[in-house]
Amino acid sequence: MGARLENRTALVTGATSNIGQAIAEAFAAEGARVIVSGRSAERGARVVEGIRAAGGWAEFLPADLDGSADASRDLADRALAALGGRIDVLVNNAGIFPGDTTAATDEKTFDRVYAVNVKAPFFLTAAVAPRMAANGGGSVINLGSWVARLAVPVGALYASSKGAVETLTRAWAAEFGPAGVRVNAIAPGVIRSPELPEGTPHPADAMVRGTPAGTTGSPDAVAHAAVWLAGEESAFVHGTVVDVDGGRVGVAVIAA
């Protein structure tokens, strides 16, 4: 157990698997009290059990962040109550990715992606950030994506929703930063699901060819960045998107 986030409280959405789970576990390992939120009570219970078994503090709060303001405000209220009226770190991680071409995307899918990926974090931040400011400050961490800036031929809907999240990150940094609330984002690259055995070939492997890392990333790589953005080590960082992508967006490796 570390102490980089000792005496801090955190709410992590979409924390019952993959990146969200890794962030919740990393926060707890650094001393934070963590609310694990998601739709599946069964998966949430497993995450909380693992955190507690490792000596950390965690509780699960079920939430279906469907984009309605009521759903986001309800989660904020329950999390504040569970954490004694204080949320120091909010991680807007919950999101959906229905990859398809533009012509094959129907209006219902469009509305749901923007509801979950943009409206839900918008209203959750609206409910939490002012309370952070009233309590003396805090950190909001949004999850963007590498495809928001490096275009791929399938997934325009998802990419545009993450582009909106990254724009909100900068806007919120300007809005809430003067009140002591830092707002930043992490843009993960191609992240391999932890359920996939090490060394197992995956179609995503082709997407990391020509990058400095030359491989897919792990959820833990994103979690390490989140711990940094949540703590005092990043106290002078506002409105930034941290690329955790193995160099996918910014670098091209030319083979000899």
Residue 256: the pLDDT is 45
Q: Which of these, 165, 198, 201, lies nearest to 183 by C-alpha position?
A: 165
* 90's tokens: 């909010």
Catalytic machinery residues? 158
- The pLDDT tens digits for 180-232 are 999 999 999 999 876 666 666 666 778 888 888 888 899 999 999 999 999 99
Residue 196: the pLDDT is 62
Q: Is 3.40.50.720 the CATH classification of the domain at 9-244?
A: yes
pLDDT reading at 255 higher than 80? no
Q: Which of these, 235, 230, 181, 242, lies nearest to 4 by C-alpha position?
A: 230
- The pLDDT tens digits for 54-82 are 999 999 999 999 999 999 999 999 999 99
